[in-house]
Amino acid sequence: MVYLGCHLSSAGGYAAMCKTAAEIGADTFQFFTRNPRGGKAKAFDPADAAVLSGAIAAGTLGPVVAHAPYTINPCSADPRVREFAWETMADDLAKLDQIPGVYYNFHPGSHVGQGVETGIDRIVEALNGVLTAGGRTPVLLETMAGKGSEVGGRFEELRTILDRADRPDRLGVCLDTCHIHDGGYDLVHDLDGVLAEFDRVIGLSRLKAVHLNDSKNPLGAKKDRHAVIGGGYLGLPALAAVVRHPALQGLPMVLETPNELPGYAAEIALLRKEAAR
Ligand code: FE
Ligand code: FE
Ligand code: ZN
């Protein structure tokens, strides 16, 4: 089996997200640690967080994914932008360390003209800075579409980050189906081959979560526009094959499709049915 859920609004807090997850048939979910466009995080509420860690410990929920705001850029050329990314990540991790069972997922960043090598060095520098000895939250690098100067569009780039980081034991990867399709990995015709390539380059043991999204653009478009399940170039059969794939069992799989809650509930039910076939 896989855990299935979707991205939820964190506006009402952790207990509210757990309740919503139950209502829509989800046994995992994802949330932004703060406003995705950056800015201040809410104060940490230990009693509220205990509802989430309790649900994970009880097995009601599988691992849950906390997503860093997508505007932070740990590989910017501007030291102030990098500093903001470090501060945000360190602050997020200090909170998440108090919620066992939650992964912290982030976009490696965009090198904006510095070149991928420099970008990778800066990402490694950020990870080495924020992954302190006392911390414990697993940190996931998200596979990217390779839009613009995004780092992480090739499995090799993520592998290099893992190789150079001081604390690889704290690191994993989150595979986004829309992103890798847009990055040129053909899940539709060769899912086995793509996963074999992931295993060869990164290692499947590093894969901790999946973002299940269809794509509005054809293979290799490097666009990153998510479509509803079955409404894009990946299509339902390819995404059903992902939830059924033996190498991916046990993972949390999170929808980031353009939906409101009823649409998410329907997609979760559909994918559960496909997973059981
Ligand atoms: Fe993401
Ligand atoms: Fe994603
Ligand atoms: Zn995306």
The reply, when asked if residue 142 is annotated as ligand binding, is: yes
- Determine if residue 154 is left, alpha or beta; phi over 0 gives left, psi from -120 to 50 gives alpha, anything else beta: beta
Ligand 1 centroid from CA 70, angstroms: 7
Residue ranges with CB less than 5 Å from ion ligand 2? 176, 211
Q: Report residue 150 as tokens.
A: 């995004």
Name the closest ligand to CA 211: 2
Q: 175 pairs with which residues across the strands?
A: 210
Can you give the pLDDT of all 277 residues of the chain as single tens digits? 999 999 999 999 999 999 999 999 999 999 999 987 766 788 999 999 999 999 999 999 999 999 999 989 999 999 999 999 999 999 999 999 999 999 999 999 999 999 999 999 999 999 999 998 889 999 999 999 999 999 999 999 999 999 999 999 999 999 999 999 999 999 999 999 999 999 999 999 999 999 999 999 999 999 999 999 999 999 999 999 999 999 999 999 999 999 999 999 999 999 999 999 8
Instruction: Please give the pLDDT value at position 42.
Output: 85
d(CA 235, CA 83): 40
Ligand 2 centroid from CA 29, angstroms: 12
Ligand 1 centroid from CA 190, angstroms: 23
Instruction: Please give the pLDDT value at position 37.
Output: 72
Ligand 1 centroid from CA 275, angstroms: 24
Name the closest ligand to CA 256: 2
| 182: nearest Cα among 139, 210, 156, 143 | 143
Name the closest ligand to CA 177: 2
Ligand 3 centroid from CA 7, angstroms: 12
The reply, when asked if residue 256 is annotated as ligand binding, is: yes
Ligand 3 centroid from CA 179, angstroms: 6
Amino acid at 225: R
Name the closest ligand to CA 105: 1
Ligand 2 centroid from CA 256, angstroms: 7
Instruction: Please give the pLDDT value at position 218.
Output: 98
The reply, when asked if residue 179 is annotated as ligand binding, is: yes
Dihedral of alpha carbons 83, 85, 86, 91, sign: positive
Q: What angle do CA 93, 23, 246 make, to 5 degrees?
A: 70
Cβ atoms of residues 179 and 143 within 8 Å: yes
Instruction: Please give the pLDDT value at position 81.
Output: 96
Q: Report residue 167 as tokens.
A: 């604390």
The reply, when asked if residue 125 is annotated as ligand binding, is: no
Contacts 24+ apart (CB under 8 A), 260-263: 261/20, 261/23, 261/24, 263/228
Please identify which residue in the block is written with the tokens 């509420």.
45
Instruction: Please give the pLDDT value at position 38.
Output: 63
DSSP secondary structure of 142-180 = EP----TTBS-SSHHHHHHHHHH-S-GGGEEEEEEHHHH
Instruction: Please give the pLDDT value at position 78.
Output: 97
Can you give the three-state secondary structure of 71-97, one letter per residue?
CCCCCCCCHHHHHHHHHHHHHHHHHHC
Cβ atoms of residues 57 and 50 within 8 Å: no
